[in-house]
Structure 1
């Protein structure tokens, strides 16, 4: 500690007196020096305090500025998302067809929401939003913006044009949240297969995309699985074939004034579905709401190919004949009593026209005799008939990978009596779907083994299904189905070079209240091609068709479903890589003579 300086410099004063100088001047100078030193010390202390204050202020200002910048650059959370605290899984794997063409994918878009408390001009915001979105009500928006809500969802997804228009309003209380939405780039094509998707749990940062119908819902877990997001789900559909069938079927439905239509093209060996069309259809990008009243079939979201459970008529006749041949009860040339009408208890079975007293088993199919088929079914018996149809999958829901399949169960008689067996043999008294019919026909023509319909592309040939009939019986059935086209009820299905075979079916349409309509039918055709070595099965179904080119209205399948099938075959056979047999017969051999 330094010694304290004396208040008066006595030595200097005494020395000054000795020399005769004025000591008061020395004391005054000492006082000035002391005051200056005290002033400098006080100033230095004040400057230090001021510097500390400035530094503290700058640190606080910098901290607040950094925090404000961070908040401004981040999207605020919706209150519900904050409470849940869970991370939303927004991604979803693509869906492609068998050739890799995209059927469904995700697209980055934005949602629109608002913080009403941050709005500068809520009246203008409500007015401009009502102008951009005609479905929004200006008065309702203004009431919401001036209410007590701190957060409002305004739009789940926006187009780029809509987003720009909202941005141009310049309202700080209108905010955008990024998200992914499901996009179906082909519009209505394969709509009933894909089904559609929508938003599940959502926040302003992202939204969960979940399947709501079709394969999107049936395989939702697979499409959302984090370890398979980069692996597209490959379907068995062929987009070009699907488009061709949809176009032909739509044209046929309009020309024939049909209420609806459906078609399935299936690989006869593997059960893969290459095309499944149901009309009317819809755009899965804007999926309609399910109907709350009326006939479900009136809704475009109703899948006629799978959910449509109908009495299919004479296309069912092939099954009792197949069973009779397999059991050895008959052969293709066995003569069957075809006298019409056939008395069955208190009921009578009649044919469309009189075919005489007898028909061969082959002609029962070619001419489509109800009486002849009922006689064959009587030989088989109801117990064996029921077991055979069950083995073919016609009595159970289809196992195809669509969420709607489990609920589309066939309608069966309460008691499988002799009368029920007779009517079921020619397609009445039992209702099933075109999908199940296609799979059953595949077993009839592919050598006799059961196939399981699938919408997933098989990377390797599946193991052969259980045998339901022998190869010999299958060959006999192929011959009969070919004769139906050559000289029977499906002659208009003939397309030169492709050797299609099949069976027509015209069933009176049932009334919802019971009984049948007199002038409304379901017209069906089920067949396969090429019949010498069937690779594909095709089913075409028309709801209430009417052909009016002649003097009388014609509703039978031979005039309605069959010509549509022929046009489908002309369009899709080349797409499937099939060449007409006549052309192949003239292909030159690999050894060709040349002249030098």
Structure 2
């Protein structure tokens, strides 16, 4: 009996020792798991055993203001090899090049003859080719599921959304902006990996409006045999970009097209002498400063001689004009006299306030620096007053134009949604409310009686200013090459939207002798507004027909 008791006591000790050991081992494992949980990137690097585990980072969708998808991720397969696991290099090279003849046999043989653990062979392989290669059964050859960017809108929004590279990293447009805004940082710590939902990036752009503007610009290029065209629509009260089109454009699904110079984003990356559109800003600074009133008299007879230079008018009235008539008849002489009366320093101060001296501040990385004269003699004062001698982007012109007619507040444009209150917080006053009201009156005058008559759209009360600028060439200006523009706002009594259309080197239509902006840029603006007005919920108004106006208003509210 005593021996049995001794044996039982020994068994109990061994069991206790075993339990203590298990508890210790479990404690070590638990501590290790806790450590790994607090260091996810380290854990991933330790336990990653296959290239398949290294999935490519995802990107958020980009959508327009109505939720229409402009850019999204799609799954794709890319072919890779683990050379150290290839048993017969020659056989692998032969079989792979039979199915994928685009592979370079010599380079492939060199890549597969190493002891490396991973090497890319071909990115983005089609489903049919993937199945064919898989059926070859080559050891050490596999596919990695990646993400590639797809742009349902294609060329329609190419210059806005930009594109990504083969590694799905943004390299142009808003795709690049999204990366610089923190997506890359999220990806680096594993918080933006495939399978994780990212909130879509919503833009201020309206895809429907964008399509209509692009369509009308395409028609204009064909109709006037032009080489290029730009169209911009801004919300005048928020400076949101509702549409921005530059033709020829490119398809972000084929990013190699972006390398062609002709497809550059002229709206923001091209700088031009904008011509008589600039008289808008000359009149505005004259009115705001008190240098002139709408009824001030300005001598526009003959030529204005400044040193060896003589400034004349295209179709001069050859008489004394009021300031309002200077705008209506687009007088170079009258505009020059306003600028000279204002003085060089005040003229430069106003132009800088309007944003014309600085690279435009917006979300797109592609934005050009204006070309500003280094010196400012009297002849520069005069020529800048009617849009020559200073080169800016069309976007500069559209934004400054919006500030002229929205009450006098300038704010940088944005491709993201912004409220009027948010705009007012960051905006700065460039002219007084009274001067802005006077500019709206001048826009309407020109739209009814001046060079903007061809931009009229029944019910939309369009006002604006034309600009026909001879293009600068080596040694002077080309008489037969013009950049034509029309800067418009509607409805001009309470402007909701600003529209700028620029047509590069338009030709006269058959049977017509002129190719100035009033004959091509202005009617193109009319075509744009007639199409996009209803999309933007701007109800047309007809004088004396209040019943119809009320019915239309109710219909839009519903």
Under TM normalisation by the shorter chain, which class is it?
Answer: 0.7 to 0.9
Q: 1:306 to 1:588 in 2, by over 3 A?
A: closer
Match of 1:557 in 2: 517
Establish whether residue 212 from structure 1 lines up as the match of residue 212 from structure 2: no
Match of 1:398 in 2: 360
Aligned with residue 581 of structure 1, among 541, 545, 550 = 541
Kindly indicate whether the alpha-carbon contact (under 8 Å) linking 1:125 and 1:171 is maintained by their aligned counterparts in 2.
no
More helix by share: 2
Q: CA deviation at 1:168?
A: 4.5
Match of 1:270 in 2: 238
Q: 1:502 to 1:173 in 2, by over 3 A?
A: same
Instruction: Give distance in 1, aligned partners of 2:178 and 2:144.
Output: 28
Instruction: Give distance in 1, aligned partners of 2:112 and 2:78.
Output: 21
Q: 1:510 to 1:582 in 2, by over 3 A?
A: same
What stretches of structure 1 of length at least 5 have no aligned partner?
Answer: 1-73, 82-86, 131-135, 201-208, 591-596
- Give secondary structure in 2 for the equivalent of 1:336: strand
Establish whether residue 536 from structure 1 lines up as the match of residue 504 from structure 2: no
Match of 2:506 in 1: 545
Q: 1:568 to 1:93 in 2, by over 3 A?
A: same
Aligned with residue 234 of structure 1, among 183, 202, 207 = 202
Larger radius of gyration: 1
Match of 1:245 in 2: 213
Q: 1:128 to 1:499 in 2, by over 3 A?
A: same
Match of 2:21 in 1: none
Aligned with residue 177 of structure 1, among 120, 144, 147 = 144
Q: CA deviation at 1:148?
A: 4.5
Q: CA deviation at 1:354?
A: 2.5
Q: Which moved more, 1:561-570 or 1:308-317?
A: 561-570
Q: 1:448 to 1:180 in 2, by over 3 A?
A: same
Kindly indicate whether the alpha-carbon contact (under 8 Å) linking 2:72 and 2:150 is maintained by their aligned counterparts in 1.
yes
Match of 1:453 in 2: 413
Match of 1:384 in 2: 346
Q: Which moved more, 1:540-549 or 1:358-367?
A: 540-549
Match of 1:77 in 2: 51
Instruction: Give distance in 2, aligned partners of 1:492 and 1:484.
Output: 10
**1:55-108 deviation per Cα after TM superposition (whole angstroms, max 9, x unaligned):** xxxxxxxxxxxxxxxxxxx98439xx9xxxxx7760222211111111112112
Instruction: Give distance in 2, aligned partners of 1:402 and 1:216.
Output: 9
Kindly indicate whether the alpha-carbon contact (under 8 Å) linking 2:225 and 2:506 is maintained by their aligned counterparts in 1.
yes
Match of 1:13 in 2: none
Paired residues in the alignment total: 487
Q: CA deviation at 1:223?
A: 3.9
Aligned with residue 129 of structure 1, among 82, 96, 100 = 100
Q: 1:527 to 1:551 in 2, by over 3 A?
A: closer
Kindly indicate whether the alpha-carbon contact (under 8 Å) linking 2:455 and 2:522 is maintained by their aligned counterparts in 1.
yes
Q: TM-score, normalised by structure 1?
A: 0.77
Kindly indicate whether the alpha-carbon contact (under 8 Å) linking 1:270 and 1:452 is maintained by their aligned counterparts in 2.
no
- Give secondary structure in 2 for the equivalent of 1:528: strand
Aligned with residue 515 of structure 1, among 453, 456, 476 = 476
Kindly indicate whether the alpha-carbon contact (under 8 Å) linking 1:546 and 1:560 is maintained by their aligned counterparts in 2.
no
Instruction: Give distance in 1, aligned partners of 2:487 and 2:550.
Output: 36
Kindly indicate whether the alpha-carbon contact (under 8 Å) linking 1:98 and 1:237 is maintained by their aligned counterparts in 2.
yes
Q: 1:355 to 1:284 in 2, by over 3 A?
A: same
Match of 2:262 in 1: 299
Matches within 5 A, 1:95-114: 95-114=62-81
Kindly indicate whether the alpha-carbon contact (under 8 Å) linking 1:129 and 1:138 is maintained by their aligned counterparts in 2.
no
Match of 2:462 in 1: 500
Instruction: Give distance in 1, aligned partners of 2:71 and 2:49.
Output: 28
- Give secondary structure in 1 for the equivalent of 2:273: coil
Q: Which moved more, 1:302-311 or 1:480-489?
A: 480-489
Aligned with residue 468 of structure 1, among 416, 430, 441 = 430
Q: CA deviation at 1:159?
A: 3.3
Instruction: Give distance in 2, aligned partners of 1:311 and 1:336.
Output: 25
Match of 1:35 in 2: none
Matches within 5 A, 1:325-336: 325-336=287-298
Q: 1:332 to 1:460 in 2, by over 3 A?
A: closer
**1:302-337 deviation per Cα after TM superposition (whole angstroms, max 9, x unaligned):** 110001100000000011111111122221122210
Q: CA deviation at 1:115?
A: 4.3
Match of 2:398 in 1: 438
**1:206-250 deviation per Cα after TM superposition (whole angstroms, max 9, x unaligned):** xxx321011111231334464796222111101111111111111
Q: CA deviation at 1:140?
A: 4.3
Q: 1:589 to 1:278 in 2, by over 3 A?
A: closer
Instruction: Give distance in 2, aligned partners of 1:437 and 1:215.
Output: 22
Q: TM-score, normalised by structure 2?
A: 0.82
